[in-house]
Amino acid sequence: MQYQSCSYLQNFQFRVWLDRIQFCCEPTPNATAGHPAIFFKETPEETLQEFIKMRTDIITESVRASLSNKDMPLEAREHTIKCAQCSRYQKATWGGGQITFVNFAFAPAPCQSKCIYCILPNHSEKFDKEKHAPLYERAFEVIEYAHENGYVHPNAEYSVASSEISVHPYRSRIYAITKGKHVKFLTNCFLFDENIARNLEANPKSSIYFSIDSGTDKTWQKVKGVNNFVTVRNNLIAYSQICKPGQIALKYIILPGINDNNEDFNGVIILMKMLNIPQLVISREMIDLSPPERHTLHANHENLRDKEMNAAALFVACLHANKLTWDFWAFTPEEIKIISSNAVRLLNQMT
């Protein structure tokens, strides 16, 4: 039957932090109420059972709301109040059972990059092995319990998004859990990691998801806080030489006044062609995950939303002109329509 839900919930996505499990973590403009989450209980079994119950309660209330033939107000919602405020919560014919997505989202953990939009470098607790080892152990126990007791689908996808995997203090354990699996590595490509390379070579479904955010070394240093653009580009080329088409995905976060120019856009397009990467993910800054000074900047930035959409439209037009494709992240459906319309207008001006 049809009812309101989302792919994160229905596909039973399993995003593990050091203190809780969530179905989703990427905030959207409408998801102001936070995300449904279960904090760790005394045992892995109790944690998993609470997580399953939360999912069941949300789906049950969603079905009940759909059967009522009228919108359920927020004050009447017990389990879906957070979901109902999210743009991803849509009416469709849904299904799903076992966990099909496992995300390693542990923090704190080290990273060599100092991305301008990331809260970790200067505004988050630093990793301390003595303090955080018990928290990591508890998180690993929950993941391992889910595997051993049949909660995870044999063909589940894994996402390694815990700061930078190539310098992660528990990278050996993460590599052991994901060995032979379909894995997406969110890496900054500062280092060429042999473990990632071996997984990519052995598993055609595995991939690198790399937020490039610039097409020139000057902008790279502004965004990433490190002057190593050539090294990163060479590591990306090295990965591409052992990859099959589709195993490297690039994302570009639009930062008005910093990387929203033709020079950077063209630099990325040249690299995409060199590496045979046909598609780019275009995103806005996820302000909920940014440091406090970025919040102030956003609040005081005149016409920020329009500038983000205008930059995205120009990038789309450039990609189309070069026979490349694109996808969007963190833009609403309404904004995507505007971006697409503006891109068509720009393309007509180019021809």
Domain count, the chain: 2
Same domain, 179 and 286: yes
240 and 125 in a single domain? The answer is yes
Same domain, 184 and 285: yes
Nearest-angstrom CA–CA distance, 196 and 108? 21
The tokens describing 263, both together, are 């020079």
Clarify whether residues 76 and 120 are in a common domain.
no
Q: Would 339 be classed as within a structural domain? A: no
Q: Which 8-state DSSP code applies to residue 215?
A: S
Per residue of the chain (351 residues), give pLDDT as tens. 688 899 899 888 999 999 999 988 755 544 455 788 999 999 999 999 999 999 999 999 998 888 876 788 888 899 998 888 888 888 888 876 789 999 998 888 999 999 999 987 776 788 898 999 999 999 999 999 998 988 999 899 999 998 899 999 999 999 999 998 999 999 999 999 999 999 999 999 999 999 999 999 999 999 999 999 999 999 999 999 999 989 999 999 999 999 999 999 999 999 999 999 999 999 999 887 788 889 888 888 889 999 999 999 999 999 999 999 999 999 999 999 999 999 999 998 887
Longest dimension (CA), the chain: 64
Residues 230 and 81 in one domain: no
Tell me whether residue 137 is in a domain: yes
pTM of the model: 0.86
The answer to whether position 344 is within a domain reads no
Let me know whether 254 and 110 are in one domain.
yes
Clarify whether residues 199 and 84 are in a common domain: no
Pair (80, 129) in one structural domain: no
Q: Which two tokens stand for residue 167?
A: 């310098």
Structure tokens at 4: 């309101």
Query: What are the tokens at 93?
Result: 């014919």
- Judge whether 14 and 177 are in contact, CB under 8 Å: no
109 plus 53 within the same structural domain:
no
Residue 183 shares a structural domain with residue 264: yes
Written as one letter, the residue type at 289 is L
CA distance linking residue 98 with residue 215, whole number of Å:
40
Q: Parallel, antiparallel, or unpaired for β 99-104 and 13-16?
A: parallel
State whether 162 and 248 are in the same domain: yes
The neighbour count for residue 348, using CB atoms within 10 Å, is: 9
Instruction: Tell me which residue range forms the domain holding 79.
Output: 2-93
CATH label of the domain that carries residue 197 = 3.20.20.70
